[in-house]
Structure 1
Amino acid sequence: MDAAAGARPMCSVCGVRPAVFYRRFSGHRLCSRCMRTSLERGVKRSLRGSNVFRPGVSILVYPSATSPPSSLAFARLVGLVERSYGGRVYTVLPSYFSARQGLNLLKDVVELVEPPPPVERAAGRLEDEVWAPRLLRLERGLASVSAELLGVDAAVLPVSRTVISMAGLEALISSRLHYMWDLDVAEAGGGRPVVLGLRSVEAELIAGYAALESFDATSRVRPKYVYKHVYKALVTDDKPELEFSSSSTISLLARASKISGCKCRACGAPVPCGSKYCEDCHTIWV
């Protein structure tokens, strides 16, 4: 947030309203309206080609433990955008997820439903701290199976470009390249398709919007980053654009490491034919 002394700076985009947020990636100061417009455009870019925005579609927003408040804010954004298409947006709150404030902002555009019992049992087996690449794979599986059991067309995970970059670096440095699949695939899942809904949006933008709209949530489950210091060394305050470069590089590496074969029944990741689940999903679904 930007709290300059004296007169508040004006929005760099519209030039009419006072700025409430400084976006490091572009160097723009944004008012609340232009901030939401920028976010909506980023969400549409993230979901482009996934058939999520089409007349009459039903979507499940599954909250991500990588950013609980942003998950609620993202659900509202998707609900507002989807309303113009005549679609329906649902969200669930697994037992490890607690919404402290902001659910009242969702009620007009998002329907809150109970997680299916099999999903709730699997989610309850998640450890308090999960390595970030593994967590994204497990969340994809939970989202995909939830959407299938609830009878909706697709699921969306509110995972930002920042998280994708950080998880990709974790997988790369750890030489566990099979996790790259989860970070690049546009639409996958063992049940219903799952899309990474913020892959074109940096974490600070959606987090800033969540704070301005007074969304507050916590998660018992937390992502673990072993090499976060490497990411911070790459993406410095004076070079935030390197986050985009890192994300693009990770996508290229992921495409080069594609593995053919059958897919996990939960997350959809490649597995040897004859196996129901990948090694990660097996730990919570079996």
Structure 2
Amino acid sequence: MKIAVLSGKGGTGKTLVSVNLAAVAKQSIYIDCDVEEPNGHLFFKPVNIASEKILIKIPVVDETLCNGCRKCADFCKFNALAYINNKLLIFDEVCHSCGGCVLICPEKALLEMEKPIGEVQTGASENVTVITGILNPGEASGIPIIKKLLKDITDNKGVSLIDCPPGSACIVMESIKDADYCIFVAEPTLFGVHNLNMVHELVTLFDKPHGVVLNKCLDGENPAEKFCIEKGITILGKIPYDNELGTLNSNALISVREAEKYRDMFSSLLQTVTKEVTT
């Protein structure tokens, strides 16, 4: 069972929900797909970490074969190639490794070489296997790392929690495409509604079953709850605005391992999600 946890922006409690659901399960895998700023490992503090470099292919030019036709530069929509002063320049930092320039070169002057863009770390934290993707600063895309992260859990028969990047960009799409269920984490504000609507539209486009966890709930009107009712979105649970929970989270402590009341709360949430997935 692969459960993706999303939010329209950072700070809604996405990692809080992901980490605690993974920790409360009997056995689970936690996958941090927020490769630009992963922080799930700060909570789990995994041990016995194994690391694997992630490589992509980027073009290199054989200047003895290049005739300056510029077909490769014209093809590249990311402006990673330019022909200046009778020389082909390749800007690795913006190359998206599509390989199109190599295919289109009529002189076969472009070849491919491997370049590291980050790594995947795998470790253990009690009942949880923790898999973390880390993108090197300045790289154009984390999608190759996310592909590797999710490939590693293809055969898992237990619970896998996918902590997605915030927003609704292509790296989020890659993170949810094989998920069995999507959980939105939303704040009780008008801004929270805007971001909830953004990820709801994305998940609807992918035709994924989904529900919402309303975080930081206060007494009184909750715009996010109203939005869910109007849209017919299942409300999986509500997490109250809680100073103790906030303190544990800000200290990078896993709440379900610190207090029974939080273990009960997230166990109930996991049971609700499991029921949604299996019915």
| TM-score above 0.5 | no
Higher share in helix: 1
**Greater relative contact order (CA < 8 Å, ≥ 6 in sequence):** 2
